[in-house]
């Protein structure tokens, strides 16, 4: 059996695979890091990674079963520490280190929820963390350990057996509902999802990854770190900030290393369309890029079209787009498309969608809303169904409902939260008793087996009996004037003067702050929302760039924005 046909048995663990790589591909580079997004600043061979991980594990063995925060900037130290925790039987808790002047509330919430005893980090940020620790009494019990200073002592390391049901790490949700919960991912979940990604993405020993996603986030960790390890192929990584500052770095890395697989949320492709100038594309060759995955936030057909048109001159093929769907609770991937086919774009009547009904329409019709398909389940044991969230019965093909998922990639629950685990991970159909299923909290429908996601159950705005998706209103707002930042607004409802009111909070582009015609912008927003959605805005608040709260994957935190509005705590622009 050739490597690209290989599927490891479910009893094999990621540690078995790493040790196999260290024996058979010892000097092959597993990860290459571009600290400035352009030049190589370090790399790890499989042999080096295995040794470093075991050195860390030998130090951590006395903490077996405990939780360890992983507080690293994106880089090779994080990868070594993660595998070190797996070897030691320590439950890794990936968390991004707080920036200077950033509040520690999220870090504190995760540390308390996970009941962590230690925090692993690198010497490069240890001094800053030490100072933050001393200022926060709640963090004092946490022991800070710089793993790059641990002295090698492999004689004390004892490899413990790992079973598929053993807990591997806690992936804390990005907190789009305001309360981060630790998803319990087992060794069996990891292997099942790696098999799923390999099959759905059509990966082989010839695959080459380039990634900029945060390694503490599920898409960065499971997709850009663990999948390359599973395949035994190289991955070229760069810090997320280097991509955000200069998006061309992502495309140049794909071109330079002849990457075949790379991707990110929809906003990443938007950023490339808006920020990359034609003169930057000299010598950029994207012809090797045959899978451009797109997930983690609402997909926009306009984004795919604009990116495809702009970069076709560089050899990018529209058919390379690979829309997919997943979340931390499914380890990562839940559904994906057919790699050999172009993305599925479906027109539906917008007015019917407001009534939770699906009525297909021509893409060219003015009353059509375009949705991008997210594929279908790939493994035989993976099931996706659409369920009425009130009656817990299956929806027909013409109905929008909650997306429920079952299969070996579904995690075991939320850490230390039995009631939330029962509610979310142990759902059963009321009429047939079929289950258990994971309730994703996402709304969507299945059409000819293809999954279409329409929004979040908790985010839906109910106005005059109709269902409105905030992301649709936000997009209308952002298209109404060039001074408004893309992917940087929130639409939500509040109770004011005895009635539900529609509120818009929207960031302004930095280049327009000094020359903003406020009346024109607000007028455009009002007219556009009225014309597109027949809705009346009660208040629009224009805010400074970067002030809209977002999750680590770029999703708008509408709950936090709503709270800031009610608390009069928005970074509003004053004139």
What is the pTM assigned to this prediction? 0.85
Q: What is the pLDDT of residues 548-562, one digit of tens each?
A: 988 766 778 888 888
- Which H or E element spans position 454? strand 450-456
- The per-residue pLDDT for 174 is 61
What's domain 461-566's superfamily in CATH? ANL, C-terminal domain (3.30.300.30)
On whether the CB atoms of residues 150 and 84 are closer than 8 A, the answer is no
- The per-residue pLDDT for 109 is 86
Residue the block writes with tokens 């389940």: 377
- The per-residue pLDDT for 4 is 41
- The per-residue pLDDT for 7 is 61
Q: Distance between alpha carbon 134 and the CA centroid of its chain, in Å?
A: 32
**Which strands, in side-by-side order, build the sheet including 333-336?**
42-45, 29-33, 235-237, 209-211, 261-264, 291-294, 321-326, 333-336
- The per-residue pLDDT for 137 is 73
On whether the CB atoms of residues 434 and 394 are closer than 8 A, the answer is no
Calculate the dihedral angle through the C-alpha atoms of 250, 288, 200, 80, rounding to the nearest 10 degrees. -50
Judge residue 342's burial from the number of C-beta atoms within 10 Å of its C-beta, 0-12 exposed, 13-18 middle, 19 or more buried. Answer: middle
- The per-residue pLDDT for 199 is 93
Given a cut of 50, the residues of the chain with pLDDT beneath it are: 1-5, 176-177
Total count of residues recorded for the chain = 575
Residue the block writes with tokens 């061309």: 248
- Which H or E element spans position 442? strand 438-447
Number of CB atoms found within 10 A of residue 117's CB: 16
**Domain map (residue ranges) of the chain:** 341-456, 461-566
- The per-residue pLDDT for 572 is 87
- The per-residue pLDDT for 151 is 85
- Which H or E element spans position 172? strand 167-172
- 3-class secondary structure per residue, 13-46: CHHHHHHHHHHHCCCCEEEEECCCCCCCCEEEEH
In the structure, how many helices (H) and strands (E) does the chain have? 17, 26
CATH fold, domain 341-456, is: Luciferase; domain 3 (2.30.38)
Q: Give CA–CA dist 16/30, Å, rounded.
A: 16
């Amino acid at each position: 059996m050739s490597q690209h046909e290989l599927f490891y048995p479910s009893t094999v663990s990621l540690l078995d695979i790493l040790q196999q790589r260290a024996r058979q591909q010892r000097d092959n580079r597993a990860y290459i890091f571009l600290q400035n997004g352009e030049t190589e600043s370090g790399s790890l061979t499989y042999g080096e990674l295995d040794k470093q991980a075991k050195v860390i594990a030998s130090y951590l063995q006395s903490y077996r079963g405990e939780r360890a925060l992983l507080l690293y900037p994106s880089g090779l130290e994080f990868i070594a520490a993660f595998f070190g925790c797996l070897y030691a039987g320590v439950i890794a808790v990936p968390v991004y280190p707080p920036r200077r002047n950033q509040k520690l509330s999220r870090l504190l919430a995760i540390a308390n929820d996970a009941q962590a005893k230690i925090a692993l980090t690198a010497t490069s940020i240890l001094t800053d963390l030490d100072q933050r620790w001393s200022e926060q009494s709640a963090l004092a019990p946490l022991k800070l350990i710089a793993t790059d200073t641990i002295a090698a002592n492999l004689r004390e390391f004892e490899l413990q057996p790992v079973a598929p049901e053993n807990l591997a790490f806690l992936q804390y949700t990005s907190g789009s509902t305001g309360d981060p919960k630790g998803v319990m991912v087992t060794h069996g979940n990891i292997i099942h999802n790696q098999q799923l990604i390999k099959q759905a993405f059509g990966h082989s020993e010839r695959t080459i990854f380039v990634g900029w996603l945060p390694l503490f986030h599920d898409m960065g960790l499971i997709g850009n770190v663990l999948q390359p390890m599973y395949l035994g192929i190289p991955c070229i990584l760069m810090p997320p900030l280097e991509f955000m500052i200069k998006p061309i770095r992502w495309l140049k890395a794909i071109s330079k290393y002849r990457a075949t697989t790379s991707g990110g949320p929809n906003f990443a492709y938007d950023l490339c369309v808006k920020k990359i100038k034609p003169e930057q594309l000299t010598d950029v060759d994207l012809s090797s890029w045959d899978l451009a995955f797109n997930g983690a936030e609402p997909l926009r057909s306009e984004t795919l079209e604009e990116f495809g048109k702009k970069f076709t001159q560089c050899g990018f093929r529209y058919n390379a787009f690979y829309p997919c769907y997943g979340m931390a609770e499914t380890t990562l991937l839940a559904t994906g498309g057919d790699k050999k086919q172009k993305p599925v774009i479906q027109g539906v009547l917008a007015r019917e969608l407001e009534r939770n009904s699906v009525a297909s329409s021509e893409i060219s019709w003015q009353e059509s809303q375009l949705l991008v398909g997210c594929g279908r389940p790939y493994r035989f044991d993976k099931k996706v169904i659409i369920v009425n969230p009130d009656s817990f019965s299956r929806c027909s093909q013409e109905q929008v409902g909650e997306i429920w998922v079952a299969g070996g990639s579904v995690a075991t629950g939320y850490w230390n939260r039995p009631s939330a685990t029962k509610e979310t991970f142990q759902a059963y159909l009321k009429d047939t008793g079929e289950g258990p299923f994971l309730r994703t909290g996402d709304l969507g429908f299945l059409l000819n087996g293809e999954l279409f996601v329409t929004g979040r159950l908790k985010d839906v705005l109910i106005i005059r009996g109709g269902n409105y998706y905030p992301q649709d209103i936000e997009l209308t707002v952002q298209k109404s004037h060039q001074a408004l930042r893309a992917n940087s607004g929130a639409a939500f409802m509040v109770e004011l003067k005895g009635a539900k009111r529609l509120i818009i909070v929207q960031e302004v582009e930095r280049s327009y702050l000094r020359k903003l015609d406020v009346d024109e912008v607000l007028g455009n927003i009002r007219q556009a929302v009225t014309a597109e959605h027949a809705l009346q805005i009660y208040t629009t608040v224009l805010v400074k760039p970067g002030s809209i709260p977002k999750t680590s994957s770029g999703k708008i935190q509408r709950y936090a924005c709503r709270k800031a509005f009610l608390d009069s705590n928005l970074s509003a622009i004053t004139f």
